[in-house]
Amino acid sequence: MKTKGVVYLVGSGPGDPDLLTVKALRLMQSADVVVYDRLVSAEIMAMVPPGVSRIAVGKAPGMHCVPQHEINSLLTSLAKKARTIVRLKGGDPFVFGRGSEEALHLRRHAIHFEVVPGITAASAVSAYAGIPLTHRSMSRGVRLVTGHFREGEALELDWEKLADPTITLVVYMGLSNLGCIVRQLIDAGRSPETPAAVIQEGTTPRQRMVRARLSSLDQRVEAAALRSPVMIIVGETVALADRLAWFEPEEACDEIPCADRR
């Protein structure tokens, strides 16, 4: 028998509060409890009404505030009290957000849930950086991968497929493994001259971007001291940012124009 409580697995988008969906905002403003991740921006949390209970369960690299199994148990416990719970996640719950793990846990415990999609960082951050994910004659497709596995696990990906020059590669959570990612792509056949970018806190006033040739991307990012969260984009369409960049964040960009090749 299902409980009376409902858990809404809600995507809050990449950080800009204007990119929230209407449904996400409505649920945030009518919830009894909001359980939120570290990547949910302060600007978005400010839209939760005063008096609504807020529980932070954010994870930072190397410092997990609340283990995933405890988050699962927390959602179950809250739902058994016949509450409306918003589980607020950065981006989209089902794109590297572990929303499916939480949904499976809720289903096993006969707890009603709904999934509210959010704009995932791949599409939003690239758009704010002036980088189309596809473009005729430049990119025939997109691949989204995670650049961070569980603690102690090697970053094992199908590098030959990811080195396909006809696709745009987007890497989530890859800052700590950026050097490895660059080397593996080049070793697998991706041209060292491929335009690439790393974008920090995309869509927010704190957005910063480093663009460079793939071969020098990790050194340029280290010199610029970018910090998580970042999005890594590799592909010919990165060069279009020279003409398509439109967003003007408060922070300056650090970049080598992709057209400046040797």
Q: Point out the residues that are catalytic.
A: 37, 59
Paired tokens of 136: 């005729």
Helical segments of 66-135, H only: 68-79, 99-108, 121-128
Do residues 211 and 221 lie in contact, with contact meaning Cβ atoms separated by under 8 Å?
A: no
φ/ψ of 240, rounded to 5, equals -70, -15
Give Cα 23 distance to the centre of its chain. 20
Cα–Cα–Cα angle for 203, 18, 226, rounded to 5 degrees: 15
- What is the spatial distance between Cα 207 and Cα 126, in angstroms, rounded to a whole number? 11
Cis peptide bond N-terminal to 205, omega within 30 = no
- What is the spatial distance between Cα 210 and Cα 199, in angstroms, rounded to a whole number? 7
